[in-house]
Chain A
Amino acid sequence: MESSRPKTILVTIYICFIFILAKLFYWQVIKGQELHDKAISQIYKLEKIVPQQGHILSSDNYPLSLDYSYYNLAFYKPNFKKDLSEILTEISAIKPEFATQNAKALEKYNNPAQKWMEFITQFNRDEMLKLSTLDGLDFSLKQNRYYPEKNLASNIIFNLERYYRRQISGQIGFTRTIVDGTGGNLLTRKNWQKNEIDGQNIRTSLNRQIQFLSEKALKAGVEKYQADSASIIIIKPQSGEIITMASYESSPSAQEKTKVSNISDLFEPGSIFKPLIMSAALDSKSISSDFICQKCNQSRTIGQYTINNWDNNFHADSTLKDIIKNSDNIGMSYIIGEMGLKNFLDYFHRLKLDQKTGVELTGESISPLKTIWPDIDLATAAFGQGLAVNQLQMIQAFNAIANNGQLVKVHLNQNSPIEKSDVYSPETMALMRDILSYAVDNSPIAVLKPKDMEVCAKSGTAQVAIKGEYIDSNTIGSYIGFYPCVDPIFTMIVTVNNPKLSQWGSSTAAPIWFEIAQKLKPLL
């Protein structure tokens, strides 16, 4: 008995020793990595540094969209040191609407099993600092976009934000710091930081005052002429900067909020296309400046089709000025005939009507150019039928006349380079400006024009083709032009879609054009 006691003690010690070894093996080898990771996570704190996103600025450096930060509150029940009712009273003292805004969530939170709950109410930094002294409350920083001008150019701004997403967003930064037992940061050499990169500001050429009055005028125009919609673009002729781009629909469809119909919707330009064709014919020397249409005293028949004028009147011996003034389809069909398909396609390409404008927006549509051109198609192309363009393509092309024959790439970003290409000669443009000015002064539109205002412009009315047939009752009225005729300060296009009060561009789009034009002078 006496001799077995030391043996028992020794065996117990051995067993304990083996047990300790096994335990050490378990903690250090089997659980070693897990514990190591846990220790690291307790010592180091890895945090995201959210960058400030860039602003979208108007031409006067006003922020059309910018970032704002707010905090979302979350409750964690196990850390509460006060009753929920007491906590809610303290929150309500700072944010009275909190309880009502989160009534459903709070009801759910009364369930003892629900320990964590985040709420929708937004707190600012001051409010967050006051409430963060309460235990069990956790705030997370959030960011959102703010649009101080509300709906002004909203689709353009949303679209720009999408187009410049990477530049505006910036880059997230990270910081890894060693923390003390209370979670506070310790300043040591082992801390590491990758700085965030704030997003870039995008300075646009949009003039918000002109945008504002254009949107207002469009809305009034749509209501007055009982139209489905109306659109407008105003650009600076020499630089191609887009000052205004807007559209208004009488009954907006549930469309994407980034849709810019000025570039996504195609339309037949109609008679506003005539100055481009006449310029091309003059520039290519297919016709001379003293061209007279000797066959304009009757309609023209090509194959089974007959070309007539919009008012079914004929104008014998029309000069170029008369053809534009009377918007003579027959005269234009002869002019394009003189020019030929090759020249037409050459100028069509030079005017970049067969390609996207490349404006800094998403969703631009273009119509593919036909490969087969029967005579009738070429003849109708002279007055803008049988081809489709978007509104921005049209104004970019027409602006070549305003800009003395140079086509300037349209753009919204003021930092975009100015790209120019020669289309027409300056001599042709001088002649064309004279023709356009004469046409405005000697047509019924002249009553809309203030006497001291010299305008070079053209109206157009295009029938809308539905299932391959043109329908008289559904038209698109347009007015495009620039002011003044020499060294213009703006080029503007207005289109009114399906006006019920009058189908003509001269009595729907033109009044809107002149109303805005008169207000533009002091703003540019």
Chain B
Amino acid sequence: MSNRVIFAIALGLLAFQLSFSVYYSGQIVAYNQKYSESEKKYAQLKYENQKLEIDFANKYALNGIITP
């Protein structure tokens, strides 16, 4: 096999590895962002749910209203 062929294969592999890394690292970053956004959204929803429960309890309390 000539040196040129070996060199071409090596270059091809390098290019493949680079494109593979760039593509998948981009994917990982995107998923990570989605994950952390979902985490934040979940925490926010949990907080809002708790707030709604307290608002409901305060609204229908017989004994007066005190907000924590």
Please determine whether A125 and B58 come into contact, CB atoms closer than 8 angstroms.
no
Please determine whether A185 and B54 come into contact, CB atoms closer than 8 angstroms.
no
Surface stretch bound by B, among A63-71, A99-107, A395-403, A471-479: A63-71
Which residues of A are interface residues toward B (Cβ below 8 A)?
Answer: 52, 62-63, 66-70, 122, 124-125, 144, 146, 148-152, 184-187, 208-209, 212
Residue of B nearest to A191 (CB): B35
B3 within 8 A of A: no
Bound: A408/B10 CA distance, A: 86
A-B contact count (CB 8 A): 60
- Contacts A185-B35, A185-B39, A187-B32 given; indicate if A146 touches B54 (C-beta within 8 A): yes
Question: Which chain B residues border A212 with CB–CB below 8 Å?
Answer: 62-63
Question: Which chain A residues border B57 with CB–CB below 8 Å?
Answer: 62-63, 66, 146, 148
Question: Which chain B residues border A70 with CB–CB below 8 Å?
Answer: 68
Which of A124, A149, A186, A187 is the one whose CB lies under 8 Å from B62?
A149
List which B7-66 residues lie within 8 A (CB) of chain A.
28, 31-32, 35-36, 39, 43-44, 46-47, 50-51, 53-54, 56-58, 60-66
B22 to chain A minimum Cβ distance, whole angstroms, is: 18
Please determine whether A148 and B35 come into contact, CB atoms closer than 8 angstroms.
no
Please determine whether A69 and B50 come into contact, CB atoms closer than 8 angstroms.
yes
Task: Give 15 A-B contacts (CB < 8 Å), ordered by A residue.
Answer: A52-B50, A62-B60, A63-B57, A68-B50, A69-B50, A144-B68, A148-B63, A149-B61, A150-B63, A151-B63, A152-B63, A187-B28, A187-B35, A209-B62, A212-B62
Question: Which chain B residues border A122 with CB–CB below 8 Å?
Answer: 68
Please determine whether A186 and B32 come into contact, CB atoms closer than 8 angstroms.
yes
Please determine whether B54 and A148 come into contact, CB atoms closer than 8 angstroms.
yes
Bound: A124/B54 CA distance, A: 13
Smallest CB-CB A-B distances: 5 pairs: A148-B57, A125-B47, A149-B63, A148-B61, A150-B63
With most chain B CB atoms within 10 A of its CB, the pick from A67, A148, A150, A185 is A148
Question: Which chain B residues border A186 with CB–CB below 8 Å?
Answer: 28, 32
Question: Which chain B residues border A68 with CB–CB below 8 Å?
Answer: 50, 54, 68
Please determine whether B32 and A184 come into contact, CB atoms closer than 8 angstroms.
yes
Question: Which chain B residues border A146 with CB–CB below 8 Å?
Answer: 54, 57, 68
Question: Which chain B residues border A148 with CB–CB below 8 Å?
Answer: 54, 57-58, 61, 63, 65-66
Bound: A122/B54 CA distance, A: 16
Bound: A218/B52 CA distance, A: 33
Number of interface residues of B (CB under 8 A): 25
Please determine whether B47 and A69 come into contact, CB atoms closer than 8 angstroms.
yes
Residue of B nearest to A141 (CB): B43
Bound: A244/B31 CA distance, A: 54
Please determine whether B68 and A150 come into contact, CB atoms closer than 8 angstroms.
no
Question: Which chain A residues border B39 with CB–CB below 8 Å?
Answer: 185
Bound: A62/B56 CA distance, A: 9
B51 to chain A minimum Cβ distance, whole angstroms, is: 8
Bound: A68/B47 CA distance, A: 9
Please determine whether A150 and B60 come into contact, CB atoms closer than 8 angstroms.
no
With most chain A CB atoms within 10 A of its CB, the pick from B51, B57, B64 is B57
Question: Which chain B residues border A52 with CB–CB below 8 Å?
Answer: 46, 50
Please determine whether A66 and B62 come into contact, CB atoms closer than 8 angstroms.
no
Bound: A150/B36 CA distance, A: 38
B30 to chain A minimum Cβ distance, whole angstroms, is: 10
Given contacts A68-B50, A152-B62, A184-B32, 6 further A-B contacts (CB under 8 A): A52-B46, A66-B57, A68-B68, A124-B51, A149-B61, A186-B32
Please determine whether B31 and A66 come into contact, CB atoms closer than 8 angstroms.
no
B2 to chain A minimum Cβ distance, whole angstroms, is: 42
Bound: A67/B63 CA distance, A: 19
Bound: A63/B54 CA distance, A: 9
Question: Which chain A residues border B63 with CB–CB below 8 Å?
Answer: 148-152, 212
Residue of A nearest to B47 (CB): A125
A139 to chain B minimum Cβ distance, whole angstroms, is: 12
Question: Which chain A residues border B53 with CB–CB below 8 Å?
Answer: 63, 66
Bound: A13/B31 CA distance, A: 51
Question: Which chain A residues border B47 with CB–CB below 8 Å?
Answer: 69, 124-125
Bound: A149/B59 CA distance, A: 11
Question: Which chain A residues border B36 with CB–CB below 8 Å?
Answer: 184-185
Please determine whether B32 and A208 come into contact, CB atoms closer than 8 angstroms.
no
B32 to chain A minimum Cβ distance, whole angstroms, is: 5
B16 to chain A minimum Cβ distance, whole angstroms, is: 23
Residue of B nearest to A67 (CB): B50
Please determine whether A208 and B62 come into contact, CB atoms closer than 8 angstroms.
yes
Question: Which chain A residues border B35 with CB–CB below 8 Å?
Answer: 185, 187
Bound: A400/B60 CA distance, A: 36
A339 to chain B minimum Cβ distance, whole angstroms, is: 47
With most chain A CB atoms within 10 A of its CB, the pick from B39, B65, B66 is B66
Which of B28, B31, B56, B64 is the one whose CB lies under 8 Å from A150?
B64
Bound: A63/B60 CA distance, A: 10
Question: Which chain B residues border A209 with CB–CB below 8 Å?
Answer: 62
A97 to chain B minimum Cβ distance, whole angstroms, is: 14
Bound: A124/B43 CA distance, A: 12
